């Protein structure tokens, strides 16, 4: 195929997406950058340019580094555990031959994802309360003292548990679909070669699934990076700042301080930070390749 037709075809295929995103994403993104560089004087009702003032404010606030740290901590732990759990779900369901139980288990596993995060977080909040909550009952059974978990230093971790509970079905759906797509021939071949279950998984299935795993991981990481619903409803960023991530402070600044400009600055920061990391990583690997 000629190079020109090649590119033409490529861009033709991309046209609908590019058009759509140009209207509904690039333009709002432009607005976002614009807002982040302004301030709004509500008395004079004028929006005026202040350059990087919002960003300077953000970086001068010592809490910001805590927000960034907590965002990454949350993302790291939740993605890791969700992925393992989701994969385990997929392998479990895949191993079940009975179609009835298979379907039943799939429904059961997917359920937490179908509960609105607000409702799910409210349920967990109730379950974690001191006198009413079931969790304290169960923990008492294991000898752990009753505590108001969402007020303890562990509140953040309980939110992570809820998030993992709520979103590991996401990984499960993707990985299970991928497992179903495995060509039967390869599986049969490996069995003939005498591979045991574990070996089969390790050396045959996982390598084939690797591209899908990477996609699932990437998607989950980006989603968790922006995680909001569970944290907000369960702890509201508290107690104090101990569970406030970048996303939470962005929300608070917009919806509670009614300062949409500074919130846009936080939003830009939230977007640029991983971009900055990825770029530096890419540059680093490129540079290393040339050495």
The CA distance from 152 to 247, in Å, is: 21
Closer CB to another protein, residue 65 or residue 258? 258
Q: Other C-beta atoms within 10 Å of 139: how many?
A: 16
Task: Kindly compute the dihedral angle of the four CA atoms of residues 193, 195, 199, 202, in this order, to the nearest 10 degrees.
Answer: 40
Closer CB to another protein, residue 24 or residue 69? 24
State the DSSP H helix or E strand holding residue 47, giving kind and residue range, or none if neither.
Answer: strand 46-49
Q: How far is the CB of 271 from another protein (least distance, A)?
A: 5
The CA distance from 172 to 174, in Å, is: 6
Closer CB to another protein, residue 103 or residue 280? 103
State the sign of the Cα–Cα–Cα–Cα dihedral 194, 199, 205, 211: negative
Indicate the SS3 state at residue 98: coil
Q: How far is the CB of 179 from another protein (least distance, A)?
A: 9
Which residues are registered as beta bridge partners of 48? Answer: 39
Q: How far is the CB of 17 from another protein (least distance, A)?
A: 5
Q: Other C-beta atoms within 10 Å of 209: how many?
A: 20
> 228 — phi, psi (to 5°)?
-140, -55
209 neighbors 179 (Cβ within 8 angstroms): yes
Which residues are registered as beta bridge partners of 39? Answer: 48
Q: How far is the CB of 23 from another protein (least distance, A)?
A: 8
Indicate the SS3 state at residue 48: strand
Closer CB to another protein, residue 69 or residue 101? 101
189 neighbors 103 (Cβ within 8 angstroms): no
Q: How far is the CB of 184 from another protein (least distance, A)?
A: 6
Q: How far is the CB of 288 from another protein (least distance, A)?
A: 19
35 neighbors 261 (Cβ within 8 angstroms): yes
Q: How far is the CB of 140 from another protein (least distance, A)?
A: 11
């Amino acid at each position: 195929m000629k190079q020109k037709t090649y590119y033409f075809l490529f861009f033709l295929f991309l046209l609908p997406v590019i058009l759509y995103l140009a209207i509904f994403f690039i333009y709002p993104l432009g607005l976002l950058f614009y807002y982040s560089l302004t301030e709004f004087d509500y008395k004079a009702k004028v929006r005026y340019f202040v350059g990087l003032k919002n960003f300077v404010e953000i970086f001068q606030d010592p809490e910001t580094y805590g927000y960034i740290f907590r965002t990454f901590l949350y993302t790291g732990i939740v993605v890791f555990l969700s992925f393992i759990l989701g994969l385990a779900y997929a392998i479990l369901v895949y191993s079940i031959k009975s179609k009835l139980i298979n379907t039943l288990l799939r429904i059961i596993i997917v359920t937490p994802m179908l509960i609105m995060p607000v409702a799910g977080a409210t349920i967990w909040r109730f379950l974690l309360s001191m006198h009413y909550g079931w969790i304290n009952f169960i923990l008492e059974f294991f000898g752990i003292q009753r505590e108001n978990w969402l007020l303890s230093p562990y509140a953040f971790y309980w939110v992570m548990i809820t998030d993992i509970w709520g979103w590991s079905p996401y990984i499960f759906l993707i990985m299970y679909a991928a497992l179903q797509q495995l060509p039967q021939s390869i599986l049969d071949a490996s069995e003939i070669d005498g591979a045991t279950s574990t070996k089969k998984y390790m050396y045959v299935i996982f390598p084939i699934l690797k591209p899908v795993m990477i996609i699932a991981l990437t998607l989950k990481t980006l989603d968790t990076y922006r995680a909001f619903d569970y944290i907000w409803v369960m702890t509201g960023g508290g107690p104090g700042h101990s569970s406030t991530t970048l996303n939470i402070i962005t929300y608070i600044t917009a919806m509670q301080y009614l300062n949409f400009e500074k919130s846009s600055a936080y939003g830009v920061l939230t977007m640029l930070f991983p971009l900055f990391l990825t770029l530096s990583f890419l540059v680093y690997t490129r540079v290393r390749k040339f050495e």
